């Protein structure tokens, strides 16, 4: 399952999304997140799916790769949708003892299923099409005004980029530890759910030890290079907005207002 974690992976390319300024992609990602949360009607959800398909096509990232990144979150998505199906009150469709399924619950559960899937798939495109160095540089420049209040902008952007960089590494380390434990006779897929969860406890200690070891090695490397944050540092590649960035922002502003219009003119049935 951890092999499906795609957060932090960068796929080099020459698509439109690859050539956008990282600051633009960060802003557009926030626009997309807002659109996901305000999409409440069937029409706006359909428009959200079309928009997501257009973004995947423009990024030239294989759709299977994007959906593969959603796979680890399927249990959470399904569990959240089921909670809304059984606990949203309204016109009953099916009743079994204390459990009741309503039309409003079914629509709310389906809405959450689509929105959460689109949210994870859409947000993963920014790491697929942006290197971590470019992402950190874009985030640092977006937060640059906070330096006036002595906010550690450079340190924050570096911390976020390092976190994203080490997520796939920790996932690979987790798989290696699992394989090593299986070679010693450990079983992870037998017994009841509680036993399965307990079987992973011996994996956590070496995983945490490996994470701490990597953290100490990284700290020593940063100190040996006399890293002092962003004070007095210059950039080899200066970020500049191009006409395509303004076109992308204008496109997302239009889609944002279209989503609001779909919600207003084609409201949710419940």
pLDDT digits (tens, 9 = 90+) for 47-59: 999 999 999 999 9
- The burial class, CB within 10 Å (0-12 / 13-18 / 19+), for 178 is middle
Decide if 42 contacts 266 (C-beta within 8 A). yes
Question: 265 falls in which pLDDT band (50, 70, 90)?
Answer: confident
Q: Can you read off the two tokens belonging to residue 45? A: 């959800």
Most confident of 41-55, 126-140, 158-172, 221-235: 41-55
pLDDT-derived band of residue 6, with 50, 70 and 90 as boundaries? low
What integer pLDDT is reported at residue 155 of this predicted model?
79
For residue 31, what are its two tokens? 């626009």
- Assigned token pair, 118: 């689109």
pTM of the model: 0.78
Give, rounded to a whole angstrom, the gap between the first and last alpha carbons of the chain: 36
Check pLDDT > 70 for residue 191. no
List the single range of 63-67, 96-100, 128-132, 216-220 with lowest mean pLDDT. Answer: 96-100
Q: Which residues contact 116 (CB under 8 A, 6 or more apart)?
A: 73, 76, 77, 80, 81
């Amino acid at each position: 399952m951890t092999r499906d974690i795609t957060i932090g992976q960068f796929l080099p390319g020459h698509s439109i999304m690859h050539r956008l300024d990282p600051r633009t992609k960060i802003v557009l990602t926030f626009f997309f997140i807002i659109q996901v949360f305000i999409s409440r009607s069937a029409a706006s959800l359909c428009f959200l799916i079309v928009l997501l398909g257009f973004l995947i096509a423009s990024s030239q990232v294989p759709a299977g790769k994007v959906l593969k990144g959603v796979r680890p979150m399927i249990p959470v998505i399904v569990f959240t949708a089921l909670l809304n199906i059984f606990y949203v009150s309204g016109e009953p469709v099916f009743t079994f003892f204390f459990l009741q399924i309503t039309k409003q619950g079914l629509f709310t559960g389906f809405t959450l299923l689509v929105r959460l899937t689109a949210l994870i798939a859409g947000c993963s495109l920014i790491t697929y099409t942006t290197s971590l160095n470019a992402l950190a540089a874009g985030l640092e420049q977006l937060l640059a005004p906070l330096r006036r209040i002595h906010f550690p902008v450079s340190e924050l952007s570096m911390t976020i980029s390092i976190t994203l960089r080490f997520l796939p590494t920790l996932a690979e380390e987790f798989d290696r530890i699992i394989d090593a434990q299986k070679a010693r006779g450990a079983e992870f897929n037998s017994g009841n759910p509680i036993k399965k969860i307990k079987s992973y406890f011996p994996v956590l200690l070496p995983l945490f030890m490996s994470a701490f070891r990597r953290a100490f090695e990284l700290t020593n490397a940063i100190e040996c290079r006399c890293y002092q944050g962003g004070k007095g540092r210059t950039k080899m590649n200066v970020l500049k907005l191009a006409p395509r960035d303004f076109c992308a922002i204008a496109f997302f502003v239009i889609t944002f207002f279209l989503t609001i219009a779909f919600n207003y003119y084609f409201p949710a049935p419940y």
